[in-house]
Structure 1
Amino acid sequence: MIVENKKTTFVVFFIFLFLMCFSAEVKAQNKLPFTEGIKKIETKFDVKFSFDSRKANEFQISLPSLNQKLTKVLSEISSETEIVFAQIDERYITIQFPIIYISVCGTIIESAKGLPIENADVLYGTQKIITTENGVFEIKKIPYDATISIVVNDYTATSISANSLQNQGINCPFVFINPNLNFLPTVTLENYVVKGISKNTNGSVTIKNSNFEILPSLIEPDILQIAQVLPGVASYDETASNINIRGGKSDETLILWNDMRMYQTGHFFGLISAFNPNLIKKMTVFKNGTHPAFGEGVSGVLSMESYTTVTQEFEGGVGVNLSSTNLFAKIPLSETFAFQVSGRTSINNGVGNPVYKEFFERTFQNTEVINLQSNTSFGLRSTDEDFSFYDISLAAIWDITKKDKLVYNFMTISNQLQFTERIIAIDSSEASNNKLRQRTLLGGITHTRNWSPNLKTTASYNSSTYVFNGNNTVDQLITLQSQRNEVKERAARAEISYRFSEKLTIDGGYQYINTNVANNDIIGVTGTATNNSTSANSFYSNASLTFNQKKTTLGGGIRYLNYGNFDNRIEPRITAHHKLNKVFTLFTAAELKSQTVFQFTARENQLLKLQTARWQVADGLENPLLTSKHISLGTAFSKNNWTLTVEGFYKNVEGINSANLGFRNQFQNAKAIGEYDVKGVEFSLGKKLKNFSTWLSYTYTDNQYNFPTLYPETFRSNLDVTQALGAAVTYGIKNLTFSLGVNYNSGLPFTPVNNQNVVIDNNGTPSISFLAPNSDTLNAYFRSDFSTKYEFKLDETFRGNLNLALLNIFNTENQLSRFYQISSDENGVNSINEVSTKSLGFTPNISFQLLF
């Protein structure tokens, strides 16, 4: 009986198992491609689905019975596939597909030699895999549609989709690449400070725009503001473009766009960067150990590069925020020729525009634009103002052959302010019209040839013109005052680079630069005019040697300058990088540099009481050549997505003229030649997780002027900010990212007055009695910012970004400068006024960008 029961139980179990397998097989046979099943549902229920057709191809569904409610049909499909259906209205439904994870592997092969490539970098998100000696890599649990980048010699040789490695039907399919020599420095620290920033073995820092995460206060990846997260890089007047590197003036920073020097770098007098971010590929930052190909910029170099790849498909975008509208496009005309174009124009003072209001008040505070009263003893006064800006850039890219590339770049930038003042009296009326305009026009052409994987040559020519015009007229007839600052520059370069082996690369070249600067000031019928020029023939060479099992890298170069109006100079540049172990590295750098073109602050004859920085050329007399000596030593730590760097530095700059420094104290009219010394320590810390990142940067400096002919001889620099700190946290969930950050510094110095005897008589002229220069400090600067970014996809063609930025969310009132002026009342009694420049208040901004 027991045996019979066992047999019965076995037969029942076997039949049940058979029926289960048969049911599963029938169910599998009944599966339909997702799009086919969805069409049947659309026809049956008269609805319309919106979804990504490319992702849909990865799914099959078992179509439920359609003789039931639509909600039940969709619920059964969701239970089976985890596909999410969202009802928009009675007819339209959106579909969100679950992420499909796969495991992939590949073999990197050099197409020219057919050999595997060892130690290539395979990048996906924050992951970095190194290929084996057989060129093999493997990535587990990666989204099927993720993009994998193959990097050889720090050059992104190709990007491929993860599913292309899975669907080729063989184990570890071959990926063929042509690793043409790119001559870029080796990356030593990925995600330095934040994602998208890398520190290189030659001491430079690379910022890749397309790979950059959101920053507090930014609604778009402004490359100049991104640079300010680096320790030792700041803008103490709160602008995007006036960048101070290690205590140097902003004009001591050489800013290049595709190897062309920029003499105008901002809109709204610097509050907005003049560089449209859509076509900026990357920027390289040198604080020390600058490559000898770069001259000028005694404090540092920011070199921007645009995209130079001929795209095979049309790409573009349009966007708008509360300060400007923009567009860009990459337009392929053939497989070897393409155009790139971008443009931006301002949005003026529309009703309730908080950005325009804050920017305008910040820019024109303490000027006649803001301070004029509507009523005077002469009559009724009224004013009108109009401020606008735009920038346009264009590139033409031609792959002449597989080895030859020709690129033409063009850019124009314009800022314009028009301010009209009208006075209407009983028996007369008068109108005063003030115009200020800044404009830049530049263009350049570059030819590059890769003769072989180891030999590359480059030849380029460019020209640049910058003009500042200001004038004041009465009733459109009589010119009361005019100012003009014009810079014209022409430059040519020829360069050759050769890689002798994986360990040794040498490059060198010749550069010619001619710069002419004109300054004109006219008051009524009298005026002054200067026109000076400088030229230099420069020869340079640089070598990079890697040895000690790739643990040590030495870079050394020299730049020889043959000036037309100065003594010849030899400027060595040295860098060294040594990897102590898997987590610790040491690095050092030293350099000598010089600079022939710099700025002075125009105070006399200024229009609207608006200070403007104007360019001038070193003449060897009142304005000698600027020269600098710079040395630094540091260490870096990297482990478990933590990055830490500490670097100490010392810099000396000689040849500075006190008349060019914008003093508003007892040295306001002094003309003395001196130097400044700055020493300090920079610290940065960053941590990157899957959805969360945080970073902190801190800089301590001691910055001192020394003028032997002034008293006192030594005193604090105008940019002696002892402590500066920046920190932020960023969190992302699906398509939404949040970022919150703070900026702090201990305050800029200023010169206080002697309150016991404020105004003194100086040979019949009243003057202010000052205490020691720069002996006091403004209150500490503190600002909190917030931003968020939402990325979404409309269909196969269109996707969008919606950004919100809240600058100075607590509306903290920070002072950026303080000075004093003498005023007299109607009885001739003299007193002083304290004048302060305040920072931006609470400034919300929102942007929308549509990409296609």
Structure 2
Amino acid sequence: MKQFCLVFIVLLWCCLSGYAQEKLTVTYSEQSLKEVIIDIESKTSILFSYAQETIVSKKISLSKQEITLKELLRVMEMQTGLIFEKVSPKQVIIAQKQILCGYIYDDLTKEPLPYVTVVIDENRTTVTDTLGYFNFNKIRTKKEGVHINFMGYEEKKVAIAIGEPCAQIGLMPNSSALEEVLVLGYVTTGIDRNKDGAITLDSDRLGILPGLVSPDIAQSIQLIPGISTLDESATGIQIRGGSPDQNLILYDDIKLYNTGYFYGMFSLFNPFATQKAIVYRSGTSATYGDRISGIIDVSSGDVIPERTKGGFEIDGLSVNGFVKTPLSEKIALYAFARRSYADVMRTPSYQSYEDKIFTNFGIARDSNGNILELEIDDDFSPDTSNNDFYFTDISSKVILKPNKKNHLAISGLYTRNRLDFDFKGGDEIVIDSLITQNKGVSANWRHITSEKQEEKVTTYFSEYDSFYQNNEIKDETDDGILDLAEINIRKNRITDIGAKFTSTSRIKETQKITLGYEFSYTELEVIISSENPIDEEIERSIQEDNNLQNALFGEYTFNLRNNGFVNTGLRLVHYTSLDKFLVEPRINLEFPLHDRIRLKTAIERRNQPISQLVEFNHTELRLENELWRLSDDQEFPLLRSNQISGGILYNNKNLNVDIDAYYKELKGLTTFTSGFSNPLENLEEGESTIKGVDFLLKHSWNNYKIWLGYTYNDITFQFPNIEDTSSKFPGNNDITHQLRISNTLQLEKWQFSLGWQFRTGKPITPVNSYEIKIDADGENAGVVNFGAVNSDQLPDFHRLDASILYDFDIKSGSKKLKGQFGVSFLNIYNRVKPLNLIYKAERKPLDDGGIAIEGTDGSTPEELELILEQVIQRFSLGITPNAVFRLFF
């Protein structure tokens, strides 16, 4: 494997090096093709073969520095209508074209558009390649009209003559999308920046990314500075210091409470079913509520295709397929389905994730470097345990456009994740079972009343179910017979229904007002139980809560004539679970100092009535331990956020520079929502302060792109009632420095990508001292003394990722299928380090004395000490290969 990786890197380097070779400087002004050929032959070792009558009357006009021979030949093809075929490293044959051909590109960015469908009639259809090129052979007429339709762009019909140079066809982005977009290719192709600061991802245009073989939305947005995960997962997304549960995530307007499989390592979002995503880091529209961090709004698309389209793919984890078909000119049906196959066959890709998830121990040390000799047997790994895992998701959509003024879409989603796990340690067997499900339906109706008035009505139903059971089987009677000693169950169910009405009016060409009302009703159930069949002891906690939300919102947008804008918004909301009216003002503005430089700022207040708690103290939770709870402003406080951001954006053709600083104050945090690495027995309330800077630098040269993203964070917590922490201390997610460098290269049908990422270690609480003593039962017990909360940190994390994709065609009779094969590697140099560390401890009586703590019932104080039972460690992925094969029709 190491040798293969080395060869892979060398080949990639050779490709990059080769790309930079054989560059020419040429200047031609209406020169004959004969003279151009003589000039090229004098500057290179290339010889041209041709018939004299073929090149007669052909002329070339071009002035270019540092142009490759390949690019030069392409220009000569476009200007002459001839074929320049390089048959060997030193020979090019010039021939007359017998085809109809063209190049399609974005009319604004001038970049080629791959995978565009070009149609002459129902029997003659093709798709552009990665350079935007298409052709039709054996055309008998002198001129043909082609019809071009590409999602996100205006339709176009063009007449092309045979024997003429390949047509240059520019497509203009749809005016509705273009109105909002400020920077196309903000990070890379398919990741754009809107005028309001939101980031739009278009999976149809998204190019290859480091370590990925599919355009996964959840992984792709992590290329944006300020967005990352602490555990390499696809779904533990933190946006500018906020925790994952503080993000509002929508799929076709269905609210999601779980977005991953296999403990978040795999994304719930089917790559085929995520055509577009809008991401807000700050400056959030007043139409969004209920979360205090980022917004991720995903859509499966809204275009009625002209013909049936579909695709199939298989990678190292799952099998996936989709169909998009027009039922008529006004109705379309989308269908998507995916399933993992790890329960049937385990690939190297799955085994790498298995090593990461099912290894919970490593060498644990105190602050002096001494190894902790723990008196437990709860450590497990893939070698000492068994697991059976699968996931599946199905989604569909019906789109109805009866006329130009009405648009109706109905979407459905179902996902299921199941894992069975067991291991034997000492004299006990532990069996875990986890099932999580998402179900949802939404309906969206958009009505255009006039050129200046539009209404939108959205309704949704969402249901989330999580069921976890932990069984412990052990010998409790010393008779050698294993009995079911303990059953721990944790169940979490959420039912959420809602509707939203939005009205948008254009007062003038530069002014817009949006008004709306949102209603939602949430029911939540939490069941936590612990049963000891031997002693017939049962502890059960059942909580059922509900919350009715009514919200009014409004926005006023004023577009300045210099392309700047001012947006002010207000959201008035009432939550019945809190019996409070809350006001959420929001201001977002950008002002151009120059055609290329813009200043920006955003101020907002937001509230969140539901959040996840980390529950360590109720069960023997081995793997999953988050539960959703509704706020009651007492035991579970309302999360509140005040935040401000501002910065500068420079955009000049192929160069983007973006610097954004932000400051956030979060209130309503608890010791359970924060998930401290050391055990905290009581639920305490606190707050957090987040300071940060995001920096992006991106540049592109022809088919090569490179970008650098850097984030600086200073996250502090303050929990006044925690012992010795009356002052502020580093937050659990305080990753001070995060850096990504990524680059991509496209060479004909090949795509290459290489990326490196680095970040500082996560804060942890150190062990100051650890001593083995005898407990009340005469057993060894490790008495622990912890240091200051989060005063230490784990080692720095970094890894190198790479991907290669190859596009090809497969002819099937008169039809042509588009195919793609790709390979990727995560963590090429296989550096594995701990990403998280958790202590499991409880207070127990000792024979030799301890801390006197008075019993809650007024009984005689017991001699108790804090006993460390387990140190759970979670590690980074090792080298993780993956491969994909896909076909499109």
Under TM normalisation by the shorter chain, which class is it? Answer: 0.7 to 0.9
User: 2-side partners of 1:82 and 1:248: how far apart?
Assistant: 61
- What residue in structure 1 maps to residue 353 of structure 2? 359
Match of 2:154 among 152, 155, 158: 158
- What residue in structure 2 maps to residue 512 of structure 1? 519
User: 1-side partners of 2:729 and 2:495: how far apart?
Assistant: 36
User: 1-side partners of 2:751 and 2:800: how far apart?
Assistant: 17
Q: Which residue identity lines up with residue 216 of structure 2 in the other structure?
A: D
Match of 2:546 among 528, 533, 538: 533
Would you say 1:651 and 2:664 are equivalent positions? yes
User: 1-side partners of 2:377 and 2:623: how far apart?
Assistant: 9
User: 1-side partners of 2:225 and 2:785: how far apart?
Assistant: 37
Residues 403 and 479 of structure 1: CA distance in aligned 2, closer, same or farther (over 3 Å) = farther
Alignment of 1:63-462 (within 5 A): 79-81=93-95, 122=108, 124-125=110-111, 156=152, 158-160=154-156, 164=159, 182=176, 186-348=180-342, 353-366=347-360, 371=379, 384-419=386-421, 434-462=432-460
Q: Which residue identity lines up with residue 701 of structure 1 in the other structure?
A: N
- What residue in structure 2 maps to residue 836 of structure 1? 873
Alignment of 1:464-479 (within 5 A): 464-472=462-470
User: 2-side partners of 1:335 and 1:736: how far apart?
Assistant: 36
- What residue in structure 2 maps to residue 33 of structure 1? none
- What residue in structure 1 maps to residue 818 of structure 2? 799
User: 1-side partners of 2:82 and 2:876: how far apart?
Assistant: 58
SS in 2 for 1:360: helix
Check whether the contact 1:601–1:611 (CA below 8 A) recurs between aligned residues. Answer: no
**Offset from partner CA, 1:328-368 (integer Å, 9 cap, x none):** 11021111111101111112166661111111221222289
Segments of 5+ residues of structure 2 without an aligned counterpart are 1-50, 57-76, 114-130, 137-145, 362-375, 474-481, 532-537, 849-866
Scaled by the length of structure 1, what TM-score is found? 0.78
Larger radius of gyration: 1
User: 2-side partners of 1:221 and 1:751: how far apart?
Assistant: 38
User: 1-side partners of 2:877 and 2:446: how far apart?
Assistant: 45
SS in 2 for 1:228: helix
- What residue in structure 2 maps to residue 622 of structure 1? 635
- What residue in structure 1 maps to residue 858 of structure 2? none
- What residue in structure 2 maps to residue 20 of structure 1? none
User: 1-side partners of 2:735 and 2:426: how far apart?
Assistant: 48
**How far 1:82 moved relative to its partner?**
7.7
Q: Which residue identity lines up with residue 639 of structure 2 in the other structure?
A: L
Residues 434 and 164 of structure 1: CA distance in aligned 2, closer, same or farther (over 3 Å) = same
SS in 1 for 2:352: helix
SS in 1 for 2:816: coil
Scaled by the length of structure 2, what TM-score is found? 0.75
**Offset from partner CA, 1:486-532 (integer Å, 9 cap, x none):** 01101111111122332112212111011111110122233111111
User: 1-side partners of 2:752 and 2:609: how far apart?
Assistant: 44
SS in 2 for 1:603: coil
Segments of 5+ residues of structure 1 without an aligned counterpart are 1-22, 29-54, 62-72, 84-96, 105-119, 128-140, 375-380
**Offset from partner CA, 1:552-585 (integer Å, 9 cap, x none):** 2111111110222331111111111111112211
Alignment of 1:701-716 (within 5 A): 701-710=713-722, 711-713=724-726, 714-716=728-730
- Once superposed, what is the RMSD of the aligned Cα atoms? 4.1
SS in 1 for 2:275: strand
User: 2-side partners of 1:831 and 1:318: how far apart?
Assistant: 51
User: 2-side partners of 1:25 and 1:415: how far apart?
Assistant: 68
Check whether the contact 1:520–1:530 (CA below 8 A) recurs between aligned residues. Answer: yes
Residues 101 and 590 of structure 1: CA distance in aligned 2, closer, same or farther (over 3 Å) = same
- What residue in structure 2 maps to residue 109 of structure 1? none
Q: Which residue identity lines up with residue 499 of structure 2 in the other structure?
A: A
SS in 1 for 2:707: strand
SS in 2 for 1:568: strand
Alignment of 1:605-644 (within 5 A): 605-606=618-619, 609-644=622-657
Alignment of 1:717-736 (within 5 A): 717-736=731-750
SS in 2 for 1:609: coil
Residues 354 and 828 of structure 1: CA distance in aligned 2, closer, same or farther (over 3 Å) = farther
Match of 2:608 among 595, 599, 603: 595
**How far 1:437 moved relative to its partner?**
0.4
Residues 223 and 174 of structure 1: CA distance in aligned 2, closer, same or farther (over 3 Å) = closer
Q: Which residue identity lines up with residue 836 of structure 2 in the other structure?
A: S
Match of 1:542 among 555, 573, 576: 555
User: 2-side partners of 1:628 and 1:663: how far apart?
Assistant: 21
User: 1-side partners of 2:774 and 2:422: how far apart?
Assistant: 37
- What residue in structure 2 maps to residue 49 of structure 1? none
Question: Percent of aligned positions with the same letter in both sequences?
Answer: 26
User: 2-side partners of 1:843 and 1:102: how far apart?
Assistant: 38
Alignment of 1:479-494 (within 5 A): 480-494=487-501
User: 2-side partners of 1:230 and 1:705: how far apart?
Assistant: 25
**How far 1:234 moved relative to its partner?**
0.4
Check whether the contact 1:470–1:607 (CA below 8 A) recurs between aligned residues. Answer: no
Match of 1:555 among 567, 585, 593: 567
Q: Which residue identity lines up with residue 641 of structure 2 in the other structure?
A: S
Q: Which residue identity lines up with residue 789 of structure 2 in the other structure?
A: P
User: 2-side partners of 1:839 and 1:309: how far apart?
Assistant: 40
Would you say 1:685 and 2:697 are equivalent positions? yes
**Offset from partner CA, 1:247-302 (integer Å, 9 cap, x none):** 11111111111122111101111111101011212111111110000002211111
- What residue in structure 2 maps to residue 580 of structure 1? 593
Residues 26 and 211 of structure 1: CA distance in aligned 2, closer, same or farther (over 3 Å) = closer
**How far 1:833 moved relative to its partner?**
5.6
**How far 1:385 moved relative to its partner?**
2.6
Residues 173 and 616 of structure 1: CA distance in aligned 2, closer, same or farther (over 3 Å) = same
Residues 420 and 775 of structure 1: CA distance in aligned 2, closer, same or farther (over 3 Å) = closer
**Offset from partner CA, 1:24-50 (integer Å, 9 cap, x none):** 89999xxxxxxxxxxxxxxxxxxxxxx
**How far 1:659 moved relative to its partner?**
2.1
Residues 543 and 709 of structure 1: CA distance in aligned 2, closer, same or farther (over 3 Å) = same
User: 2-side partners of 1:178 and 1:382: how far apart?
Assistant: 56
Residues 570 and 26 of structure 1: CA distance in aligned 2, closer, same or farther (over 3 Å) = closer
**Offset from partner CA, 1:644-694 (integer Å, 9 cap, x none):** 0111110111111112211132x5213211110001111000011211000
SS in 2 for 1:278: helix
Check whether the contact 1:558–1:572 (CA below 8 A) recurs between aligned residues. Answer: yes
Q: Which residue identity lines up with residue 158 of structure 1 in the other structure?
A: E
User: 2-side partners of 1:370 and 1:342: how far apart?
Assistant: 41
User: 2-side partners of 1:26 and 1:646: how far apart?
Assistant: 55
Check whether the contact 1:576–1:589 (CA below 8 A) recurs between aligned residues. Answer: yes
Check whether the contact 2:530–2:619 (CA below 8 A) recurs between aligned residues. Answer: no
Q: Which residue identity lines up with residue 586 of structure 2 in the other structure?
A: R
**How far 1:760 moved relative to its partner?**
8.8
Match of 1:669 among 662, 678, 681: 681
Match of 1:809 among 823, 828, 852: 828
**How far 1:79 moved relative to its partner?**
3.3
**How far 1:478 moved relative to its partner?**
9.6
Q: Which residue identity lines up with residue 494 of structure 2 in the other structure?
A: V
**How far 1:766 moved relative to its partner?**
6.5
**How far 1:419 moved relative to its partner?**
3.0
**How far 1:609 moved relative to its partner?**
1.7
Check whether the contact 1:433–1:476 (CA below 8 A) recurs between aligned residues. Answer: no
Residues 758 and 662 of structure 1: CA distance in aligned 2, closer, same or farther (over 3 Å) = farther
Q: Which residue identity lines up with residue 528 of structure 1 in the other structure?
A: S
